[in-house]
Amino acid sequence: MEVQRQTNLETFSSKDLEKALQRIKKSIWVFHLNTGSCNGCDIEILDVLTPWFDVERFGIKLVASPRHADVVLLTGPITIKTLPRLVKALRAVPRPRLVLAIGSCAVGGNIWFNSYATLGGFPNIIDKLDELGIIIDKVVYVPGCPARPEAIIYGVAVMLNLIKQKSHYKKVKT
Protein backbone atom coordinates (compact mmCIF):
# COMPACT_ATOMS: atom_id res chain seq x y z
CA MET A 1 0.00 0.00 0.00
CA GLU A 2 1.29 3.40 -0.68
CA VAL A 3 1.01 6.55 1.31
CA GLN A 4 -1.78 8.68 0.03
CA ARG A 5 -2.62 12.13 1.15
CA GLN A 6 -6.24 12.87 0.71
CA THR A 7 -5.82 16.53 0.99
CA ASN A 8 -2.93 18.68 0.08
CA LEU A 9 -2.22 22.36 -0.23
CA GLU A 10 -4.79 22.90 -2.96
CA THR A 11 -7.68 21.73 -0.88
CA PHE A 12 -6.26 22.90 2.39
CA SER A 13 -6.48 26.61 1.82
CA SER A 14 -5.50 29.39 4.14
CA LYS A 15 -9.15 29.79 5.04
CA ASP A 16 -9.36 26.19 6.18
CA LEU A 17 -6.18 26.71 8.10
CA GLU A 18 -7.60 29.74 9.86
CA LYS A 19 -10.71 27.79 10.81
CA ALA A 20 -8.75 24.81 12.03
CA LEU A 21 -6.52 27.05 14.11
CA GLN A 22 -9.59 28.61 15.70
CA ARG A 23 -10.96 25.21 16.59
CA ILE A 24 -7.66 24.02 17.97
CA LYS A 25 -7.96 26.67 20.64
CA LYS A 26 -10.63 24.63 22.36
CA SER A 27 -9.18 21.20 21.86
CA ILE A 28 -5.47 20.56 21.68
CA TRP A 29 -4.16 17.07 21.18
CA VAL A 30 -0.49 16.76 21.79
CA PHE A 31 2.04 14.15 20.78
CA HIS A 32 5.22 13.87 22.76
CA LEU A 33 8.38 13.46 20.71
CA ASN A 34 11.65 12.87 22.49
CA THR A 35 14.67 13.47 20.29
CA GLY A 36 17.34 12.42 22.74
CA SER A 37 16.49 14.46 25.78
CA CYS A 38 17.62 13.54 29.27
CA ASN A 39 14.02 12.75 30.38
CA GLY A 40 13.86 15.81 32.60
CA CYS A 41 11.49 17.70 30.31
CA ASP A 42 9.66 14.50 29.49
CA ILE A 43 8.69 13.86 33.05
CA GLU A 44 7.63 17.47 33.41
CA ILE A 45 5.41 16.98 30.37
CA LEU A 46 3.81 13.99 32.06
CA ASP A 47 3.59 16.08 35.18
CA VAL A 48 1.40 18.71 33.51
CA LEU A 49 -1.14 15.99 32.84
CA THR A 50 -1.36 14.98 36.46
CA PRO A 51 -3.62 16.44 39.14
CA TRP A 52 -1.52 19.38 40.29
CA PHE A 53 -1.38 21.02 36.88
CA ASP A 54 -3.97 19.03 34.94
CA VAL A 55 -3.89 20.56 31.47
CA GLU A 56 -7.07 18.76 30.54
CA ARG A 57 -8.70 21.91 31.88
CA PHE A 58 -7.55 23.60 28.63
CA GLY A 59 -8.85 20.72 26.56
CA ILE A 60 -5.35 19.30 26.14
CA LYS A 61 -5.02 15.57 25.67
CA LEU A 62 -1.92 13.44 25.15
CA VAL A 63 -2.30 11.10 22.19
CA ALA A 64 -0.24 8.12 21.18
CA SER A 65 -0.03 8.60 17.45
CA PRO A 66 1.28 11.62 15.53
CA ARG A 67 -1.63 11.19 13.14
CA HIS A 68 -4.01 12.32 15.88
CA ALA A 69 -1.92 15.23 17.06
CA ASP A 70 -2.26 18.98 16.65
CA VAL A 71 0.81 19.99 18.59
CA VAL A 72 4.11 18.18 18.78
CA LEU A 73 5.88 18.56 22.11
CA LEU A 74 9.48 18.29 21.05
CA THR A 75 12.16 17.71 23.67
CA GLY A 76 15.86 17.00 23.28
CA PRO A 77 18.73 18.36 21.22
CA ILE A 78 17.87 16.16 18.19
CA THR A 79 20.52 13.47 18.10
CA ILE A 80 21.65 12.28 14.72
CA LYS A 81 20.11 8.89 15.23
CA THR A 82 16.65 10.25 16.00
CA LEU A 83 16.62 12.67 13.09
CA PRO A 84 15.07 10.36 10.47
CA ARG A 85 12.39 9.38 12.95
CA LEU A 86 11.71 12.97 13.81
CA VAL A 87 11.13 13.80 10.16
CA LYS A 88 8.85 10.78 9.82
CA ALA A 89 6.81 11.70 12.85
CA LEU A 90 6.47 15.36 11.88
CA ARG A 91 5.37 14.38 8.41
CA ALA A 92 2.63 12.23 9.87
CA VAL A 93 1.10 15.12 11.77
CA PRO A 94 -1.82 16.52 9.79
CA ARG A 95 -1.93 20.26 9.25
CA PRO A 96 -2.22 22.68 10.97
CA ARG A 97 1.04 21.43 12.39
CA LEU A 98 2.27 23.18 15.51
CA VAL A 99 5.48 22.56 17.42
CA LEU A 100 6.25 23.39 21.01
CA ALA A 101 10.00 23.07 21.48
CA ILE A 102 10.43 22.39 25.17
CA GLY A 103 13.59 22.77 27.22
CA SER A 104 16.98 24.29 26.60
CA CYS A 105 17.97 21.32 24.47
CA ALA A 106 15.25 21.80 21.91
CA VAL A 107 15.65 25.58 21.90
CA GLY A 108 19.38 26.08 21.89
CA GLY A 109 21.04 22.70 22.18
CA ASN A 110 21.82 23.11 25.87
CA ILE A 111 25.15 21.72 26.98
CA TRP A 112 25.42 19.56 23.85
CA PHE A 113 25.01 22.34 21.31
CA ASN A 114 28.45 21.57 19.86
CA SER A 115 28.60 17.80 20.32
CA TYR A 116 29.35 15.55 17.35
CA ALA A 117 26.25 13.49 18.00
CA THR A 118 23.55 16.18 18.09
CA LEU A 119 22.19 18.88 15.84
CA GLY A 120 21.82 21.43 18.59
CA GLY A 121 18.14 22.19 18.76
CA PHE A 122 15.04 22.64 16.66
CA PRO A 123 15.92 26.04 15.10
CA ASN A 124 18.78 24.34 13.26
CA ILE A 125 16.56 22.05 11.25
CA ILE A 126 13.52 24.19 10.64
CA ASP A 127 14.76 25.41 7.24
CA LYS A 128 15.55 21.91 6.15
CA LEU A 129 12.05 20.79 7.06
CA ASP A 130 10.70 23.54 4.85
CA GLU A 131 12.87 22.27 2.05
CA LEU A 132 11.33 18.84 2.50
CA GLY A 133 7.85 20.29 2.24
CA ILE A 134 7.01 19.83 5.89
CA ILE A 135 5.41 23.11 6.78
CA ILE A 136 5.39 24.01 10.44
CA ASP A 137 2.55 26.43 11.01
CA LYS A 138 3.78 27.78 14.29
CA VAL A 139 6.66 27.16 16.68
CA VAL A 140 6.90 28.29 20.27
CA TYR A 141 10.13 27.91 22.20
CA VAL A 142 9.98 27.17 25.91
CA PRO A 143 13.34 27.55 27.66
CA GLY A 144 14.03 25.83 30.97
CA CYS A 145 16.27 23.01 32.14
CA PRO A 146 14.02 21.23 32.63
CA ALA A 147 11.13 23.50 31.66
CA ARG A 148 8.95 23.51 34.76
CA PRO A 149 5.29 22.52 34.33
CA GLU A 150 4.12 26.10 34.67
CA ALA A 151 6.54 27.15 31.94
CA ILE A 152 5.07 24.53 29.63
CA ILE A 153 1.55 25.73 30.36
CA TYR A 154 2.72 29.27 29.72
CA GLY A 155 4.18 28.14 26.39
CA VAL A 156 0.87 26.61 25.38
CA ALA A 157 -0.89 29.84 26.35
CA VAL A 158 1.52 31.81 24.15
CA MET A 159 0.96 29.38 21.33
CA LEU A 160 -2.80 29.91 21.51
CA ASN A 161 -2.43 33.67 21.92
CA LEU A 162 -4.13 33.54 25.30
CA ILE A 163 -1.24 35.51 26.75
CA LYS A 164 1.17 37.95 25.18
CA GLN A 165 4.76 36.75 25.38
CA LYS A 166 6.99 38.51 27.87
CA SER A 167 10.42 37.81 26.40
CA HIS A 168 11.76 40.33 23.95
CA TYR A 169 15.18 40.95 22.56
CA LYS A 170 16.95 43.33 24.88
CA LYS A 171 19.99 45.38 24.29
CA VAL A 172 21.37 47.40 27.18
CA LYS A 173 24.24 49.81 27.12
CA THR A 174 26.39 50.29 30.15
Q: How far is the CB of 88 from another protein (least distance, A)?
A: 3
Q: What is the Cα–Cα distance from 60 to 122, expressed in whole angstroms?
A: 23
Q: What one-character-per-residue DSSP string does 64-121 give?
A: SSGGG-SEEEEES--BTTTHHHHHHHHHHSPSS-EEEEEHHHHHH-GGGTT-TTB--S
109 binds another protein, rule: CB under 8 A = yes
Contacting another protein within 82-101 (CB under 8 A): 82-85, 87-89, 91-96
Binding residue (CB under 8 A) for another protein from 10, 14, 30, 64:
64
Q: What is the Cα–Cα distance from 153 to 46, expressed in whole angstroms?
A: 12
Which H helix or E strand runs over 43? helix 40-49
Q: How far is the CB of 14 from another protein (least distance, A)?
A: 13
71 C-beta neighbours (distance < 10 Å), count: 23
Contacting another protein within 34-63 (CB under 8 A): 34-44, 46-47, 50-54, 56-59, 61, 63
Per-position x/- string for 132-161, each x denoting binding to another protein as judged by CB under 8 A, each - no binding:
x-----xxxxxxxxxxx-xx-xxx-xxx--
Binding residue (CB under 8 A) for another protein from 30, 77, 98, 160:
77
Task: Name which of 14 and 114 has its Cβ closer to another protein.
Answer: 114
